[in-house]
């Protein structure tokens, strides 16, 4: 998600509060929001997959190995 799309999301939000959106703008806003949510979720998943947990017995467990949504 690039800065231009985030700026457009904010622009549409402010316009919706000030004067309302057309149907086309509402669809664009929804699409941009979905793209943003997808990007945030992927970023979080990537960050969590790079975390290792050191157990009390000294063993290392990778969170990536515990992810039930991860494809084998």
> Per-residue pLDDT tens for 2-56?
999 999 999 999 999 999 999 999 999 999 999 999 999 999 989 988 899 999 9
**What is the C-alpha to C-alpha distance for residues 67 and 53, in angstroms, rounded to an integer?**
13
Q: Whose structure tokens read 């402010």?
A: 14
| pTM tops 0.85 | no
For the chain, domain boundaries: 1-64
């Amino acid at each position: 998600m690039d800065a231009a799309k985030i700026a457009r999301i904010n622009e549409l939000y402010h316009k919706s509060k000030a004067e309302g959106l057309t149907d086309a703008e509402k669809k664009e806003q929804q699409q941009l929001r979905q793209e943003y949510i997808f990007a945030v979720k992927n970023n979080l998943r990537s960050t969590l997959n790079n975390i290792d947990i050191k157990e009390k017995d000294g063993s290392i467990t990778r969170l990536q190995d515990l992810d039930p949504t991860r494809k084998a």
